[in-house]
Structure 1
Amino acid sequence: MSTQEIDSSELPKVRQLVNQFLSISITHQKNNSIDDKNELVIYTTSIGIIRETAQDCQLVRSILQTLCLKFIEKDVSIHPLYLKELYERIGTVKIKLPQTFVGGLYVGGASAVESLNESGKLRELTTNFERQGATEINCASCYDYRFVPCHSCHGSRRNRSSSFNRIAELKCGQCNENGLQLCPQCSIPMRSRANSAPKRQFESEKHYNLQVPCTNYTLKLS
């Protein structure tokens, strides 16, 4: 087999790798500059097992609240997809929380935010950002937690479906692992589906109110 034949056979693989690299680079650039270009976002965790991480998350919150800045807090322990989103934005799996993005630009962890605050540069970066009081609540539905109990399963992670004169419990497909779904009033991804939430709730209640003997229930414990 000649050298020319080997090169020609490897060309499709090389092109595929190049295209894959370019698509990853473009996606990473979009995630850092378009999604929240006018917002201040911090990725945190409410799990306090690691004291240093819990203290760093509280430090960043305190700094932003002291500056009366309105920010979006994405708790990765409540919604695991936030962690996947953070992996894609930073481009590495070795992440130490909290992580901060100002206007779609990656700032860094707690030490970076603290340094910017002490030097006065954080105030300059957030001059045109929206302000709010430390105790001000923007959403009366979720109290700024951005999540509410699932309208379909009510947080049980189980949904009842009637078929063949019996009721079977299935895993709910409307919420995350914790039985929560994004608030339809304040979370941007759910705004387009906010009008359908009452309908889903009505249909789920209709399944729960079926009058059948207890012997027809099939229970799954997991």
Structure 2
Amino acid sequence: MKGMRGNFLTKLKLIPTKTKQGLILIQKSPTSPFFDDHKENNLSGSENNDEKQHFEEQEFNFKATPTTTIKSPSNTSPKVSCIKEFPSLNDFEEKCPPGGTKSIILYTTSLRGIRKTFQDCNTIRFLLRNLRILYHERDVSLHLEYREELWNVLGGKVIPPKLFIKGRYIGGADEVIGLHEMGWLGKILEGTPNVTSDCVCIGCANMGFTICSTCCGSCKIFTNNECFLRCHECNENGLVKCHICC
């Protein structure tokens, strides 16, 4: 029996001790009278409490840190982006389309070939109608001269929508929507004429154009010499401006 006990003690001494974060944990053995059964559980519990407290401190610091986000319209001019308060019309670039010195002009398109462009035009139109602003819409797809006007004013081939207020270029869909989200669009439009009624024009249904009565929209006139001539009353689409609302 003494030999067996000596061999057991020798093997017990050869068992390597486990270390965890700098703490030496004694292996549990039936012959160790000083071993506490709850020691390992207490150590692991204290480590869990420390780790939990550490994460709680990080979460508290994250919540306590204030974050401020400033929403601004994309592709805005440097003059507008540096303004802390709401801008005025004088802060925008002076570019006036024909007949737009004292009015609001919106260049749009009714073609649905490019969905995003068509939806952007509807969005700006919807904003102006909700604000009950009196504006003049110029559809570049119905009248070629409107497209040439827009390209000449902005100095390049651009796509609608483009908004002009009293000879000042406001921008496209991104700029106008950004101003509206900040609450600046309504302040910029203060003092502009408002829509007094929602009546639809009986001549063109607010389209601004009617079918040419001379050529019936065919752009051709039949002469006595049995030949066709180009109609000079209508545009390239066989349309003329409405004589009631335009």
State the distance in 2 between where 1:120 and 1:134 align: 25
Which is higher, the Rg of structure 1 or of structure 2? Answer: 2
Deviation at 1:131, TM superposition (A): 1.5
2:202 is matched with 140
Indicate yes or no: 2:166 matched with 1:91.
Answer: no
Q: Residue 98 of structure 2 contacts residue 149 of structure 2 at CA under 8 Å; is this kept in 1?
A: no
Indicate yes or no: 2:107 matched with 1:48.
Answer: no
The AA in structure 1 aligned to 2:116 is E
Q: Which runs of 4+ in 1 moved over 3 A?
A: 133-136
Deviation at 1:31, TM superposition (A): 5.9
State the distance in 2 between where 1:86 and 1:38 align: 17
State the distance in 2 between where 1:31 and 1:184 align: 27
Alignment of 1:199-210 (within 5 A): none
Scaled by the length of structure 1, what TM-score is found? 0.64
Q: CA deviation digits over 1:145-204, x for unaligned, max 9? A: 111111211111111222xxx4322121111111001112222xxxxxxxxxxxxxxxxx
Alignment of 1:35-184 (within 5 A): 35-93=99-157, 95-132=158-195, 135-137=198-200, 139-162=201-224, 166-184=225-243
RMSD: 2.1
Aligned identity (percent) is 33
State the distance in 2 between where 1:118 and 1:87 align: 28
Scaled by the length of structure 2, what TM-score is found? 0.58
Count of paired positions: 154
Q: Residue 33 of structure 1 contacts residue 105 of structure 1 at CA under 8 Å; is this kept in 2?
A: no
Deviation at 1:108, TM superposition (A): 0.5
The AA in structure 2 aligned to 1:123 is G
State the distance in 2 between where 1:33 and 1:153 align: 30
List runs of 5+ in structure 2 lacking aligned partners: 1-92
State the distance in 2 between where 1:82 and 1:180 align: 13
Deviation at 1:135, TM superposition (A): 4.2
Deviation at 1:33, TM superposition (A): 7.1
